[in-house]
Amino acid sequence: MTTTRQDCEVLDAEDSLRELRHQFELPEGLIYLDGNSLGVLPRETAARVQQVLAQEWGRDLIKSWNTAGWIHLPGRIGDKIARLIGAWPGECVVADSTSLNLYKVLAAALQMVARDASPQRRTIVSERSNFPTDLYIAESLARQHGFELKLIAAVEELPAALNDSTAVLMLTQVNYRTGYMHDMAAVTAAAHAAGALTVWDLAHSAGAIPVDLNAAQADFAIGCGYKYLNGGPGAPAFVWVNPRHADRFWQPLSGWLGHAAPFQFTPDYQPAPGIQRYICGTPPILSMAALECGVDTVLAAEPLGGMAALRRKSVALCECFIELAEERCGVLGVRLASPRDAARRGSQVCLSLEAPLHEAGYAVMQALIARGVIGDFRAGDPARLEVLPHILRFGFTPLYVGFADVFDAVEHLHAVLTTEEWRRPEFNKQGAVT
Ligand SMILES: *Cc1c(COP(=O)(O)O)cnc(C)c1O
């Protein structure tokens, strides 16, 4: 036994980010390892939303678009998120959902290629294991605009997939299943060398790992508000466009709040300069208020070392989890399904179960959840479990997860497997959301 619970308690006591945990309404005794799917409720959020309800909406009504600055929320929160992703003020806005923002930027990228590049650039390259909504949106746009979606099965195929027929490389920086993390700067450089544009999905990056979009000279990026940014279920998403492209085309959802002068109510569309044109319609103010509280919980780390410090803790938590899971549960058939190299891994660790436990993953996760250890389960490909196994996914949000939590989570996993508690019928019933 290398790491004891006492060692973990010492690590927690020495953790300079420990105080950030008090920003959250984390239920007592719960070990929450699913901030990669839905971040925890910040303490500030209820009071802030209540203020918007009671005062800004309740009393001030429509005046609040000006007096409470509602109209500036997409840009104001966008500027805050910009600090987490290597962007400058005025380069990022909050709007719509991740899926919708992907639609906007991918359509804009295809439009740019159609206008500027040679006509043989007809493929959108992505990964088969990319998040389904990304692939579905790309599939739809490819059909509409006469492009072909080319999916690589493994990261190693990427260099060969980029060539003079590539229009756009569309990747999620941190893979939602495995946690594999692309080197954004290197991959962007390779795409540019092949003459392609890049679209980065930062759903599992923003607030989780340091991102530097401008240093990487990325072209487009989008991301999610309800994961590591703690914005609440269905929180609005964000969109960033490199300033060198921002004014060059219309995004396809040319709504009135992306107009240069929305309150002149002209019958023709004149896009606002820069990123503002990526706003479509009226922002959801209650959700925006909640999202801002969530983003503020991440910015609260700035005086303590910011994303670099959060990343150091995240890596340490993940390493601790891997070490303990392998040591305690390796003989029980638990295998690491994420990259072992921390430099290639985001803020999550996935485990798979060897035969004869292949099919037990869902039930094992249900049993863990019943014990107060919340992760999630992602089904693999039943026909190719060696390539795409079922996985137990554990996200480590350094804002509120500690080392003792990691230790306890592994002990619970060990108990679920050794007692075979997961065989209980109630853990084998599938809900609508896994
Ligand atoms: C979570 C996630 C999304 C979510 O998209 P929604 O439009 O918010 O449902 C999109 N892409 C990736 C890679 C994700 O992980």
Give pLDDT tens digits for 334-384.
999 999 999 999 999 999 999 899 899 999 999 999 999 999 999 998 888
Distance 11 CA to ligand 1 centre (A): 33
How confident is the model at residue 1, as a pLDDT? 59
Q: Which residue type is seen at 359?
A: E
Give pLDDT tens digits for 270-279.
999 999 999 9
Quote the CA–CA distance of 347 and 262 in Å, as a whole number.
41
Residue 298: both structure tokens together: 């991440």
Quote the CA–CA distance of 376 and 393 in Å, as a whole number.
5
- DSSP secondary structure code for residue 56 in this structure: I
How confident is the model at residue 311, as a pLDDT? 98
Q: Which residue type is seen at 159?
A: P
228 CB near ligand 1 (under 6 Å): no
**Residue nearest atom 15 of ligand 1, based on CA coordinates:** 203
How confident is the model at residue 245, as a pLDDT? 95
Q: Answer whether 5-17+305-428 and 50-299 agree in fold.
A: no
| CATH architecture of the domain with residue range 50-299 | 3-Layer(aba) Sandwich (3.40)
**Residue nearest atom 13 of ligand 1, based on CA coordinates:** 131
Quote the CA–CA distance of 187 and 176 in Å, as a whole number.
18
pLDDT averaged over every residue in the chain: 96
Quote the CA–CA distance of 53 and 65 in Å, as a whole number.
13
Residue 6: both structure tokens together: 């006492």
First to last CA, the chain: 33
How confident is the model at residue 194, as a pLDDT? 97
Distance 116 CA to ligand 1 centre (A): 30
Q: Identify the segments of the chain with pLDDT beneath 50.
A: none
Q: Where are the beta strands (DSSP E) in 309-419?
A: 334-336, 348-353, 373-374, 376-378, 391-395
Dihedral angle sign, alpha carbons of residues 8, 11, 17, 21:
positive
**Cβ atoms within 10 A of the Cβ of 59, count?**
9
Ligand 1 atom at shortest distance from the alpha carbon of 176? 15
Residue 90: both structure tokens together: 């005025």
3 CB near ligand 1 (under 6 Å): no
> The domain 5-17+305-428 belongs to what CATH superfamily?
Aspartate Aminotransferase, domain 1 (3.90.1150.10)
C-alpha atoms less than 13 angstroms from C-alpha of 236 in its C-beta half-sphere: 29
**Residue nearest atom 8 of ligand 1, based on CA coordinates:** 98
Ligand 1 atom at shortest distance from the alpha carbon of 130? 13
Secondary element (H or E) of residue 364: helix 361-370
Distances (CA, A) of 237 to 128, 316, 409: 23, 28, 31
Ligand 1 atom at shortest distance from the alpha carbon of 131? 13
Q: Domain segments of the chain: what residues?
A: 5-17+305-428, 50-299
